[in-house]
Structure 1
């Protein structure tokens, strides 16, 4: 009997530039660590030079206790296991309502109930299954955002086997939560990044707008050999990038994308390689970046043109496998090189 080997690749699709200047401003505090199965980096100008890392990690833990599928006692985990005593808190409610809004706008391309499919393909919080058409068909009955609702603080599911998965929106929401906390401390210059989702305000320690590099979608590229497609300057904005080229697995020589189409149950196969979305709040940017990777290039451009609160940057491959870029008018103005 042969042994199947799965190889996973996880790298952030953006590069944060100017994290360390030659002469660091002493009032700019730098925090880094781990949360939600990934890394975080916070940089902020603290008026009194205070380092808030401990307090910020407390906020991150509160967030995880509400929305982490990896915490067995979190609100979302208990809801997924049909604990009838659990009630949604404000974090869960805000995340759920935004997710349902974006699900409706994208026609179900974004879907909180895609979790069983994500797990089956090996990208979720459970072990991968042996996937075939029968497996997918059996799981599709549990997929569909219209099959769940929040009523008086309780999650109502059409079927108890439905699982809610907020991984495609939670990191962006966590960025917003931390950003709001900093603003409540009268901090007006900051960069908050969790797992590649980020939000900035004001200026960096060199007195310029925060600059972010968008990576070229090169399979197998590493931290040392990654190449930048473009650099953008962000002014009080959030940025989220989703791409299939750095989060996939190989099984018996076949690459499987981590982006699962909720309507088919299968990993997407199209020429859109990377979707970057800029918006005021990171939760919105995060969810739409995922939805666009499901929709593909043409449908994503069509939808983005209807939403004046988004700016988009798509990297795709043409018929000759060359990289091409589509950038909305507003996003073009943010590109510095």
Structure 2
């Protein structure tokens, strides 16, 4: 699903091995949503839940993947009549509206037409100029889309919804909830670089590595930091993996819904830790749009959200980092 935001396992390297008395270590992996997933959990009964996990991910794809023509979101974008949304769709839509309001539109699921036109969606890239971008901006406003009686109401037919900046974080939550429903309380779920962890391994919290924001295509990734994660979710967004060069300009997949252009500032990557993956994923994208100063200001004004962040940014050609005060005792920088 999430070809727009593609921080694969290479972006967040899981660093742990576990042993536990009377509990078997189960590892699952597979492909879904245009990326990979890796799940590790401690089991009392040794049951493998791969088939169930694959089924859940397929259901989510059938609801929210813009890459599947028959999905609920694709049918809504194509203006089919009487499309009824499912519970997956409703949860993500409502969280998206919440984050959009909080960030004053810096997160916006109606950015779909711009994402497609810039060449980061399922359709063919368009040739853009200022007039075309300004025209597409008339279709971008989360307030023009509402959910009523399990149906999406669009003020303009050409509006297209895009959940790619939030759906993988939510998918991680769905899998985590499934594992907990089976009595599993020690696990780490990773999908496309979004992670949720609970419990411990070898009597210590799970450890997750955060990559340096390198544009190199090497399979070997250098870590910038390692963070302890327990009963929290982590998501990373960056402008260094999914981009292209046009007329000597680097164009990132992070589209600013207010300007219509790829976001341009010195913030290279945002790692957000929250209680759930859907929240972490959405705010990681929003902060990439907002930039360093606005994001820090937002965090200071919204302490009630209980977000923790690790930002990597460029200052005169050198990497610098910003870390939430509450996170400093659980994170180890490697450089």
**Counterpart pick for 2:170 among 162, 170, 173:** 173
Contact 1:13–1:242 under 8 Å retained in 2: no
Alignment deviations for residues 228-271 of structure 1 (CA, whole Å, 9 cap, x no partner): 11110111110001010122112344321111100000011100
CA RMSD of aligned residues (A): 1.9
Q: What does residue 290 of structure 1 align with? A: 285
1:28 Cα deviation from its structure 2 partner? 1.4
Aligned-partner SS, 1:163: coil
Contact 1:114–1:164 under 8 Å retained in 2: yes
Gaps of 5+ in 2: none
The count of residues paired between Structure 1 and Structure 2 equals 326
Q: What does residue 222 of structure 1 align with? A: 218
1:9 Cα deviation from its structure 2 partner? 8.9
**Counterpart pick for 2:205 among 198, 206, 209:** 209
Q: TM-score, normalised by structure 1?
A: 0.92
Q: What does residue 328 of structure 2 align with? A: 332
Alignment deviations for residues 41-81 of structure 1 (CA, whole Å, 9 cap, x no partner): 11111220111101111111111111111111111111111
1:41 lines up with 2:42 in the alignment? no
1:26 Cα deviation from its structure 2 partner? 6.8
Cα distance change, pair 124–25 in 1 and its aligned pair in 2 (3 A): farther
**Counterpart pick for 1:16 among 10, 14, 17:** 14
Cα distance between partner residues in 1 of 2:61 and 2:94: 18
1:307 Cα deviation from its structure 2 partner? 2.7
Q: What does residue 194 of structure 1 align with? A: 191
Cα distance change, pair 232–149 in 1 and its aligned pair in 2 (3 A): same
Aligned-partner SS, 1:336: strand
**Counterparts of 1:196-275 in structure 2 under 5 Å?**
196-204=193-201, 206-224=202-220, 226-275=221-270
Alignment deviations for residues 114-144 of structure 1 (CA, whole Å, 9 cap, x no partner): 0110111111121211122122122111111
**Counterparts of 1:22-33 in structure 2 under 5 Å?**
27-33=24-30
Q: What does residue 107 of structure 2 align with? A: 110
Contact 1:9–1:248 under 8 Å retained in 2: no
Cα distance between partner residues in 2 of 1:135 and 1:25: 62
Cα distance between partner residues in 1 of 2:70 and 2:160: 15
1:207 Cα deviation from its structure 2 partner? 3.4
Cα distance between partner residues in 2 of 1:10 and 1:213: 13
Contact 2:7–2:237 under 8 Å retained in 1: no
Aligned-partner SS, 1:209: strand
Gaps of 5+ in 1: 1-7
Cα distance between partner residues in 2 of 1:25 and 1:43: 16
Contact 1:120–1:130 under 8 Å retained in 2: yes
1:24 Cα deviation from its structure 2 partner? 12
1:191 Cα deviation from its structure 2 partner? 0.5
Cα distance between partner residues in 2 of 1:178 and 1:122: 30
Aligned-partner SS, 1:266: coil
Aligned-partner SS, 2:166: helix
1:279 lines up with 2:277 in the alignment? no
Q: TM-score, normalised by structure 2?
A: 0.93
Q: What does residue 129 of structure 2 align with? A: 132
Cα distance between partner residues in 1 of 2:101 and 2:229: 28
Q: What does residue 97 of structure 2 align with? A: 100
Cα distance change, pair 193–233 in 1 and its aligned pair in 2 (3 A): same
Aligned-partner SS, 2:165: helix
